[in-house]
Amino acid sequence: MSIIRKGYAETSEGQVHYREAHRVSGTPLVLLHQTASSGVMFEPLMTLLSDSFHTLALDTPGFGASFPPPGGFSIRYLSDSLYAALHQLGVESCFMFGHHTGSAIAVQMAYDHPDFIQKMILSGAPLLNETQINGLKASLKPFAIAEDGSHLTQVWERIRKRDSALPLDTVHREVLLTQSAREAAQGAYQAVFEQPFAEQLSALEIPILVMSGENDTLRASLEPAFSILKNGAMKLIPNEGPYICDQNPQAVADILKEFFV
């Protein structure tokens, strides 16, 4: 069984926490998580990939154990911070898998550093139309600690609504990570809304696979994202939702192994 090592990469902005499974050589595979999770969501996937890839899962600034970003941060700020961390870790070129917000960061990084990412998979690519953005904005609430603890139950109910089959341990983990992220969680969504995602994605020439679970909250973005790719492929995974990396890591591992060859 692969051992997942944890550590910190020093950047000019602060420390970026990472997880690493390094049993094999070759092009590293970098994993970027959704809001408001952390690299912990990739641990089952990293174990399944340990015989095929050197994997690195970074905690985005503001999440997990990474440094808190400044107010009003952008996707470019998050991308620059993670890019700096990867260089500190000796990564000169990589494959990349991004899930939800991780996809937004991956696209920004590929756009800003054309020779850095060789191939990329975007799971739940956030190519959002105005209706989707307005709906998400309406669901966001400023972080506040309630005397009766309702701030915890509200997040619990929201995560359960996304996937009613999600194990309680995973729901509990995601609630705690969301509360730990505090204002960064809402800030990350706002940063996604403001990113020129379609413009950046359509400019990329590297091979890109866009994928989505059939019941993912960003399922509607799959075909629109595929339609603007210059060198793209598309995959829909039946019966899976936004927590596919937790619920069916084997399916994700199989897709990654097939694409990153």
Residues of the chain falling short of pLDDT 50: none
The residues spanned by each domain of the chain are 5-259
Six token digits for residue 240? 């899976």
Q: Does residue 155 sit in helix, strand or coil?
A: helix
Cα 101 versus chain centre, distance: 5
Q: Are 109 and 227 in contact (CB under 8 A)?
A: no
Amino acid residing at 33:
H
Q: Are 86 and 79 in contact (CB under 8 A)?
A: no
Q: Are 157 and 164 in contact (CB under 8 A)?
A: no
Q: Are 187 and 90 in contact (CB under 8 A)?
A: no
Q: Is 148 exposed, middle or buried (0-12, 13-18, 19+ CB in 10 A)?
A: exposed
- Output the pLDDT for position 139: 80
The number of beta carbons lying within 10 Å of the beta carbon of residue 29 is 24
Bridge partners, residue 58, by sequence: 18, 32
- Output the pLDDT for position 18: 98
For the chain, report the end-to-end CA distance as a whole number of angstroms.
23
Write down the pTM of the prediction. Answer: 0.97
Q: Are 92 and 28 in contact (CB under 8 A)?
A: no
Q: Are 122 and 107 in contact (CB under 8 A)?
A: yes
The DSSP call for residue 12 is: S
Burial 40-71, CB ≥16 within 10 A → b, else e? bbbbbbbbbbbebbbbbbbbbbbbbebeebee
Domain at 5-259: CATH architecture: 3-Layer(aba) Sandwich (3.40)
- Output the pLDDT for position 1: 58
- Output the pLDDT for position 92: 97
Dmax over CA atoms of the chain, in Å, equals 52
Q: Does residue 95 sit in helix, strand or coil?
A: strand
